[in-house]
């Protein structure tokens, strides 16, 4: 039943019957323990299974794992011990090996403002502020607007004081929850219209919390919305609260842990960026190759047709938020495109897709081809297909791709897709809004290159313009996003929080660049980030150099290097030092410094290489682009 969607995380595949046995094999040293942990975490696990997996993860932590370390501190007015196993096991699904640091019960303000508190001394990556309505200074005053406003202000100041304390005493960002309102209403429906009631107070506090995180490094966790989605009566369990001070029913532990961890993933830019759609019985009802244009079911006035329209509407709404759309269908290309061109009720059109793969290859092969054409990793992909056999094939062949389970009724497809939270975000920039267009324009560039043939002629035909600016407040969110999500063209893959980016931006010892690119097909937005730190009066160390793979092969990196040289000369810098730290994903730039003429200073045992460039030796190149403007004074 779809009522179990949230309690059982039904968008995830069911765990195998021998799940506990499989957990025990994780510690086998001959296996990739991190990969096995993440594989087992991809199932829809209940509280007991999460506890089993968490115990094994704790044992496996004694050795390095192929998961990203993350330290999460938790402060709450309720018992938080019961949260830890679920969070640790769920974090593995999102690629993290999680360490939880818990404050003593009720020690919220003390932990925040005391620099010597256990949490501040631990220097976590994030602090989860898990406070519910019982932990706030709420004073009801029915009908008294002045007292209402004073209470809302006091509650928001209380939460802001906690956040400010952690900002001052650690490098952590805060995850702040909205407040799930209590079920009980003393005077019924009128409580939402009457100032000073618990319901109206909680509503205004939640609005204030949401507004407070705008233009900050902190992120929002909408527990109020989550509780209302599953039902406040189900969420709040007074028996659990009275017995153990649990803020919500233990049935929702897997769901709560999932929402916390998907927020961490979004903050670290591990969210998905491309939705790949099957066509037959997914985008429309029926099989276009067998039923023909008149036989497929799509459109108003028919329950099945309206259900498939709903998934089209969802896809378009996601595209409006920057999610790239693609097609992978076992079909003849001409036949697969026919409904998009000729059916009057189709909302999706060919122009909405960055890549259209309709052929008789298996879906996994097509999805890999889509990822390559878009220059996106497989871990950026979500694949939606009604066929359980196709879903299972993709999961086995491409485990990095997210493949939500779907129910039999297409009316629920959108709900299951969105319940998975694959496209969770913690910020939204102008570049995010245009991302789908960026990728489609890139496909047009590839088509032009195939027509022109000669690379130099092709690059000149693009009429590229590069814009250089130092880091600034306007671009900081996008800069942080690129630093945390770029894996392939990234020399060190060192990650930074928005607060750390702000510190780099304001440091007199750092030279920074944010790089934007436009061409005849449109604006690519911000495509590269560079930061150099002064080692002494005549040397810079290139700490960060990354670039979007969408613009590979266009000599943009040479234009960036030329700008770094120009700036270095202007500031009296004679030497540039660079470091390449190898990862599974950045082999693409292994020879980056060598190709630019740097001298190899030596290799370390892990493959890290160090490089030196004498600025005086640089000879300017004529490049197929204009710089508009250079940021030289």
Q: Can you give the C-alpha Rg of the chain in angstroms?
A: 26
Report the CATH number at residue 584: 3.40.630.30
- Mean pLDDT, range 419-446, rounded to an integer: 72
Residue 444 in domain: no
Mean pLDDT of the chain: 89
Q: Sorting pLDDT into bands at 50, 70 and 90, what band is 377?
A: confident
Residue 183 in domain: yes
What region, left, alpha or beta, does residue 123 occupy, with left being phi > 0 and alpha being psi -120 to 50 degrees? left
* Range in 14-23, 32-41, 220-229, 431-440 with the lowest mean pLDDT: 431-440
Q: Answer yes or no: are the C-beta atoms of 175 and 128 closer than 8 Å.
A: yes
Regarding whether 364 and 233 lie in a shared domain, the answer is: no
Beta strands (DSSP E) in 140-195 are: 173-177
**457: pLDDT strictly greater than 80:** no
Q: Which domain holds residue 491?
A: 463-627
- Mean pLDDT, range 377-402, rounded to an integer: 92
* Range in 56-60, 117-121, 546-550, 626-630 with the lowest mean pLDDT: 626-630
Neighbours of 628 (CB within 10 A): 11
**300: pLDDT strictly greater than 60:** yes
Regarding whether 338 and 246 lie in a shared domain, the answer is: no
pTM of the model: 0.78
Q: Identify the DSSP state of 587.
A: G
Beta strands (DSSP E) in 566-622 are: 575-580, 599-603, 609-614
The pLDDT, as a whole number, for residue 248 is 93
Alpha carbons 133 and 608: distance in angstroms, whole number: 50
* Range in 11-15, 106-110, 127-131, 326-330 with the lowest mean pLDDT: 106-110
Regarding whether 92 and 142 lie in a shared domain, the answer is: yes
- Mean pLDDT, range 544-572, rounded to an integer: 89
The pLDDT, as a whole number, for residue 186 is 85
CB-based burial, 329-338: b 16+ in 10 Å, e otherwise: bbbeeebbbb
The pLDDT, as a whole number, for residue 84 is 94
Regarding whether 408 and 304 lie in a shared domain, the answer is: yes
The pLDDT, as a whole number, for residue 1 is 45
Burial class (CB in 10 A: 0-12, 13-18, 19+), 351: exposed
Alpha carbons 56 and 67: distance in angstroms, whole number: 14
The pLDDT, as a whole number, for residue 632 is 53
Regarding whether 342 and 475 lie in a shared domain, the answer is: no
The Cβ-side half-sphere exposure at 7, using a 13 Å CA radius, reads 12
pLDDT digit string, tens, across residues 131-167: 999 999 999 999 999 999 999 999 999 999 999 999 9
**612: pLDDT strictly greater than 70:** yes
The pLDDT, as a whole number, for residue 427 is 76
Residue 438 in domain: no
Regarding whether 224 and 81 lie in a shared domain, the answer is: yes
Neighbours of 612 (CB within 10 A): 14
pLDDT digit string, tens, across residues 535-553: 988 999 999 999 987 777 7
Q: Are strands 575-580 and 609-614 parallel, antiparallel or unpaired?
A: antiparallel
Residue 533: its H or E element: strand 522-536
- Mean pLDDT, range 109-119, rounded to an integer: 89
Q: Identify the DSSP state of 258.
A: H
- Mean pLDDT, range 571-593, rounded to an integer: 91
- Mean pLDDT, range 58-83, rounded to an integer: 88
3-state class of 181 per DSSP?
A: coil
**514 forms bridges with which residues in the sheet?**
469, 529
Q: Sorting pLDDT into bands at 50, 70 and 90, what band is 488?
A: confident
Regarding whether 297 and 232 lie in a shared domain, the answer is: no
3-state class of 532 per DSSP?
A: strand
């Amino acid at each position: 039943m779809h009522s179990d969607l949230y309690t059982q995380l039904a968008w995830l595949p069911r765990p195998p019957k021998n799940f506990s046995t499989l957990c025990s094999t994780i510690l086998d040293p001959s296996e990739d323990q991190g990969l096995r942990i993440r594989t087992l975490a991809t199932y829809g696990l209940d509280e007991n299974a999460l506890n089993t997996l968490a115990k094994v993860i704790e044992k496996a932590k004694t050795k390095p794992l192929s998961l990203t370390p993350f330290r999460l501190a938790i402060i709450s007015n309720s018992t938080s011990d019961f949260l830890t196993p679920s969070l640790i096991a769920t974090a593995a699904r999102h690629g993290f090996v999680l360490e939880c640091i818990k404050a003593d019960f009720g020690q919220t303000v003390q932990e925040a403002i005391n620099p010597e508190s256990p949490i501040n001394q631990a220097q976590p990556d994030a602090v989860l502020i898990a406070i519910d309505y019982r932990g706030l200074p709420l004073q009801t005053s029915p009908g008294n607007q002045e007292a209402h406003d004073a209470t809302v202000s006091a509650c928001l100041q209380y939460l802001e004081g906690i956040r400010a304390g952690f900002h001052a005493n650690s490098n952590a960002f805060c995850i702040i929850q909205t407040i799930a309102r209590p079920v009980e209403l003393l005077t019924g429906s009128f409580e939402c219209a009457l100032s000073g009631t618990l319901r109206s107070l909680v509503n205004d506090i939640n609005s204030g919390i949401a507004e407070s995180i705008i233009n900050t490094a902190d992120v929002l966790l909408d527990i109020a919305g989550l509780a209302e989605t599953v039902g406040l009566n189900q969420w709040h369990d007074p028996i659990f609260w009275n017995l153990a001070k649990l803020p919500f029913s233990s049935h929702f532990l897997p769901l709560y842990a999932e929402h916390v961890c998907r927020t961490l993933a979004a903050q670290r830019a591990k969210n998905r960026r491309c939705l790949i759609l099957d066509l037959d019985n997914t985008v429309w009802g029926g099989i276009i190759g067998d039923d023909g244009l008149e036989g497929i079911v799509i459109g108003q006035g028919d329950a099945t047709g309206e259900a498939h329209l709903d998934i089209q509407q969802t896809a378009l709404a996601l595209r409006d938020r920057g999610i790239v759309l693609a097609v992978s269908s076992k079909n003849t290309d001409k036949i697969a495109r026919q409904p998009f061109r000729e059916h009057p009720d189709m909302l999706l059109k060919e122009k909405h897709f960055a890549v259209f793969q309709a052929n008789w290859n298996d879906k996994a092969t097509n999805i890999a081809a889509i990822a390559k054409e878009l220059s996106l990793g497989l871990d950026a992909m979500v694949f939606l297909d009604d066929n359980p056999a196709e879903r299972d094939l993709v999961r086995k062949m491409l485990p990095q791709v997210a493949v939500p389970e779907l129910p039999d009724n297409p009316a629920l497809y959108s709900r299951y897709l969105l319940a998975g939270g694959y496209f969770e975000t913690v910020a939204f920039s102008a570049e995010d809004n245009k991302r789908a267009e960026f990728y489609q324009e890139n496909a047009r560039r590839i088509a032009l290159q195939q027509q022109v043939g000669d690379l130099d002629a092709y690059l000149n035909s693009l009429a590229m313009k590069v814009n250089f600016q130092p880091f600034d407040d306007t671009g900081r969110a996008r800069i942080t996003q690129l630093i945390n999500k770029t894996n392939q063209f990234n020399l060190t893959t060192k990650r930074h929080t928005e607060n750390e980016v702000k510190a780099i931006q304001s440091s007199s010892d750092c030279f920074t660049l944010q790089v934007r690119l436009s061409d005849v097909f449109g604006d690519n937005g911000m495509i590269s980030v560079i930061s150099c730190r002064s080692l002494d009066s005549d040397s810079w160390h290139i700490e960060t150099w990354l670039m979007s793979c969408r613009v590979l092969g266009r000599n943009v990196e040479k234009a960036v290097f030329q700008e770094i040289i120009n700036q270095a000369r202007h500031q009296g810098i004679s030497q540039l030092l660079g470091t390449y730290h190898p990862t599974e994903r950045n082999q693409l730039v292994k020879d980056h410094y060598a190709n630019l003429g740097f001298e190899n200073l030596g290799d370390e045992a892990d493959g890290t290489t160090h490089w030196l460039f004498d600025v005086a030796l640089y000879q300017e190149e004529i490049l197929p682009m204009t710089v508009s403007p250079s940021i030289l004074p």
